[in-house]
């Protein structure tokens, strides 16, 4: 980790007490710092949440390391986070007796940003303060937020288990560099000293600090303490030891998920969510449950309001914070939820797993599998309730995370039906790009005798909406789902049916329309006749066949694939990914009632017939949003036609 740190430019010996060595911040860290200072003043108090959150993490880490090395804690097993201020000096200190950092750790952790995707994140910033603040929230700026209120920050830290002389002092004025020097520090842990900016002196104030702490840190399992003021009234919950030293605890100091649901307010849930997720925004919804019986665990799961900017990055850390018997074990335990629910944040606290559980063990442990199955159902249930009770909010969810949920049916066969009910699509019924139609809505509107749910996949909504393949459906008032997300073809290949009824791609195979009496002309006509045979001859092996269509009403022609063919969307995705795609030849379906076809039927000019056939084929390709093999030839053909139309006559 230390190798990622900034470059040293100091000349002094490292490790010598009292001589500071200078380091440059990593470029990304520098950019982020700049941002902190110049664009984040609308909600400045969050720096305290971030620093307390770090202190609490540091205590969690110490507890965890002490599982295998109890000497790290020794006799000092009263954990605390302490806040002190000096109004005159404009100084604010946040201290903890957690794990602390050694010199290398201080350089690496406070001089670089280790998170992947930093560069991408920074490139997304728009310069619009409001939007950027939301993005920064998703990214979780943490420590650097100290510079929102401080023009100088000093971190005095000593790693648990190391000697007092091996302490480290880190200092920075948030310019391009920071200094590190060795020092003797009496206790283990970390002290962050903020030299408040002139316009941030308001934070060196007892009342203000207590308010902010209560607002953001009630749910933290560690006592946050301040020195009791003479007229202080908060005395009930402080320990004797703290009272002796003049410290009193000002937060609830009980891990939120261990409290009973009825004791926790919505505001507390929201604050806790911000703590675990590093999100500025409130969660959309949550579910808090204690399970007793064969397995005992507590889960607190949140659905965020907004998708993170790197939702599609498969490497992106995901998962829950894992605790075992209240002891923090790891962040991002991804084994407790399937990939298609990767947007869920929260905590799982198990009473059954061993304290020394590792990621490897998690991967193969039956208890973890049971918990994952239960949590998956829990989330699907939560979403289903949201969809029923608050459809507007469910729509918000769908717009952010719908595409991820669409991975569900393929990944999680057991819950396919439950997931299917949560899916939303555009449709010919609403004729809106917004995906709002559920499969249940669709089924409730099915026509008499309709046995299948029809859908169409296209590159985008506009193409889908205008597809010639929809014509017969529009004419008969049969609803068709209009699918236009990249993943849809794949989704449908793993769905096949809903509510016992098959899903049918209108671009493929036999439509099997409910009996209709509206186009008797095409009813008894076979697949081949003189006209279609002539067109096929003209097109050669560009198509698998030519036949009369039952789908078309207004358009002269369209392309159709067989059930066994790969969907158009899927083929484009694979092609874009540079994969070899098996060549599938479409059938050309023609509308015999169309005047163009009627004219072609009697055409004796062979060359002209050839041209018109090619045009039909090319137009059908274009209508599906496809690209032509030889666009120039198409343009020439059309122009030749136009000229002959304008005519020399």
For ligand ADP, the binding residues (CB under 6 A) are 50, 54-55, 57-58, 96, 98-101, 109-110, 140, 142-143, 190
Residue 109 in the binding site for Mg ion (CB under 5 A): no
- Closest contact distance (angstroms) between CB of 135 and ligand ADP is 15
277 binds, among Mg ion, ligand ADP, none (CB under 5 to 8 A by kind): none
Give yes or no for residue 142 binding Mg ion (CB under 5 A): yes
User: CB-wise, 275 or 547, nearer to Mg ion?
Assistant: 275
Verify binding: residue 54, Mg ion, rule CB under 5 A. Answer: yes
Q: Which is nearer to ligand ADP, 58 or 422 (CB)?
A: 58
Nearest to 409 by CA among 339, 354, 460: 339
- For 96-114, the DSSP string reads E-S----HHHHHHHHHS--
**Nearest distance, CB of residue 582 and ligand ADP, angstroms:** 47
Which residue number, 100 or 346, has a Cβ lying nearer to ligand ADP? 100
Non-local (6+) Cβ contacts of 260 within 8 A are: none
Where does this chain touch Mg ion (CB under 5 A) — which range of 139-147, 228-236, 361-369, 499-507?
139-147
Q: Are strands 345-350 and 320-324 parallel, antiparallel or unpaired?
A: parallel
For 349, the enclosing helix (H) or strand (E) is strand 345-350
Of 47-55, 264-272, 285-293, 346-354, which segment contacts Mg ion by CB under 5 A?
Answer: 47-55
Q: How far apart are CB 387 and Mg ion at their closest, in Å?
A: 34
State in angstroms the smallest separation of the CB of 197 from Mg ion.
21
Using CA atoms, how far apart are residues 83 and 80, in angstroms rounded to an integer?
10
Measured in degrees and rounded to the nearest 5, phi and psi for residue 50 equal -65, -40
Q: Please, is 543 exposed, middle or buried when counting C-beta atoms within 10 Å of its C-beta (0-12, 13-18, 19+)?
A: buried
Among residues 325, 318, 314, 324, the alpha carbon closest in space to that of 301 is found at 318
Is residue 348 within 8 Å of 371, Cβ to Cβ?
yes
Cα–chain center distance at 434: 19
Residue 99 touches which member of ligand ADP, Mg ion, none, C-beta under 5-8 Å by kind: ligand ADP
Nearer to ligand ADP, 46 or 110 (CB): 110
Judged by beta carbon distances under 5 to 8 A according to partner kind, the member of Mg ion, ligand ADP, none in contact with residue 96 is ligand ADP
Residue 39: CB minimum distance to ligand ADP, A: 17
Q: Please, which residue, 58 or 320, has the CB nearer to ligand ADP?
A: 58
Query: Which stretch, 53-61, 188-196, 290-298, 530-538, contacts Mg ion (CB under 5 A)?
Result: 53-61
Of the pair 140, 509, the CB lying nearest ligand ADP is at 140
* Length reported for the chain: 649
Q: Which of residues 469-488 bind Mg ion (CB under 5 A)?
A: none
Q: Is 355 helix (H, G, I), strand (E, B) or coil?
A: coil
* Distance in angstroms (rounded) separating the CA atoms of residues 226 and 209: 9
**349 binds, options Mg ion, ligand ADP, none, Cβ within 5 to 8 A by partner type:** none
The stretches of 187-334 forming alpha helices (DSSP H) are 206-217, 240-244, 266-277
Q: Which of 334, 257, 323, 254 is nearest to 289 (CA)?
A: 257
Residue with tokens 């665990």: 297
Which residues are near Mg ion by CB under 5 A?
A: 54, 142
């Amino acid at each position: 980790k230390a190798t990622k740190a900034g470059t040293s430019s100091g000349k002094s010996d490292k490790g010598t007490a009292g001589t500071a060595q200078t380091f440059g911040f990593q470029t990304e860290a520098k950019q982020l710092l700049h941002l902190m200072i110049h664009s984040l003043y609308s909600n400045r108090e969050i720096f305290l949440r971030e620093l307390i959150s770090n202190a609490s993490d540091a205590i969690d880490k110490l507890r965890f390391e002490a599982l295998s090395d109890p000497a790290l804690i020794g006799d000092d097993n009263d954990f605390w986070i302490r806040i002190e201020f000096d109004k005159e000096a404009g100084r604010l200190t946040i201290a903890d007796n957690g794990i602390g950092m050694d010199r290398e750790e201080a350089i690496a952790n406070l001089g670089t940003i280790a998170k992947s995707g930093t560069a991408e994140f920074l490139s997304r910033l728009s310069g619009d303060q409001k939007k950027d603040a939301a993005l920064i929230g998703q990214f979780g700026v943490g420590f650097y937020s100290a510079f929102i209120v401080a023009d100088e920050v000093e971190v005095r830290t000593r790693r648990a288990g190391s000697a007092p002389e091996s302490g480290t002092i880190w200092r920075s004025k948030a310019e391009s560099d920071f200094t590190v020097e060795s020092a003797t520090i009496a206790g283990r842990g970390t002290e962050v000293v903020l030299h408040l900016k002139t316009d941030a002196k308001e934070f060196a104030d007892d009342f203000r600090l207590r308010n902010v702490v209560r607002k953001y840190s009630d749910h933290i399992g560690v006592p946050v303490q301040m020195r009791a003021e003479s007229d202080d009234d908060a005395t009930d919950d402080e320990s004797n030891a703290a009272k002796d030293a003049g410290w009193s605890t000002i937060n609830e100091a009980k891990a939120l998920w261990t409290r009973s649901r009825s004791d926790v307010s919505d505001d507390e849930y929201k604050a806790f969510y911000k703590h675990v997720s590093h999100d500025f925004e409130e969660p959309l919804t949550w579910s808090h449950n204690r399970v007793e019986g064969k397995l005992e665990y507590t889960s607190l799961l949140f659905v965020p309001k907004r998708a993170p900017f790197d939702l599609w990055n498969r490497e992106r850390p995901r998962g829950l914070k894992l605790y075992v018997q209240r002891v923090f074990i790891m962040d991002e335990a991804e084994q407790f939820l399937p990939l298609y629910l990767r947007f869920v944040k929260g905590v799982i606290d198990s009473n059954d797993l061993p304290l020394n559980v590792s990621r490897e063990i998690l991967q193969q442990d039956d208890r973890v599998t049971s918990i994952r199955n239960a949590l998956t159902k829990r989330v699907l249930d939560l979403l289903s309730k949201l969809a029923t009770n608050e459809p507007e909010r469910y729509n918000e969810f769908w717009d952010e995370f719908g595409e991820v949920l669409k991975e569900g049916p393929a990944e999680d066969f057991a819950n396919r039906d439950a997931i299917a009910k949560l899916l939303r699509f555009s449709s010919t019924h609403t004729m809106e790009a917004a995906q709002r139609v559920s499969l249940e809505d669709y089924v409730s509107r099915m026509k008499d005798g309709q046995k299948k749910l029809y859908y169409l996949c296209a590159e985008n909504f506009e193409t889908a909406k205008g597809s010639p393949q929809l014509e017969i459906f529009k004419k008969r008032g049969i609803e068709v789902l209009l699918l236009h997300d990249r993943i849809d073809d794949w989704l449908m290949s793993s769905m096949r049916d809903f509510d016992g009824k098959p899903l049918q791609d209108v671009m493929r195979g036999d439509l099997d329309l409910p009996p209709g009496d509206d186009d008797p002309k095409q009813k008894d006509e076979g697949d081949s006749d003189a006209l279609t045979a002539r067109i096929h001859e003209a097109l050669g092996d560009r198509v698998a066949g030519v036949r009369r269509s039952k789908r078309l009403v207004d358009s002269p022609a369209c392309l159709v694939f067989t059930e066994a063919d790969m969907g158009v969307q899927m083929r484009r995705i694979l092609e874009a990914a540079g994969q070899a795609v098996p060549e599938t030849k479409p059938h050309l379906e023609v509308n015999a009632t169309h005047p163009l076809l009627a004219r072609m039927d009697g055409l004796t000019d062979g060359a002209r017939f050839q041209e018109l056939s090619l045009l039909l084929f090319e137009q059908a390709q274009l209508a599906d949003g496809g690209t032509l093999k030889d666009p120039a030839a198409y343009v020439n053909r059309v122009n030749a036609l136009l000229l002959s139309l304008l005519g020399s006559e």
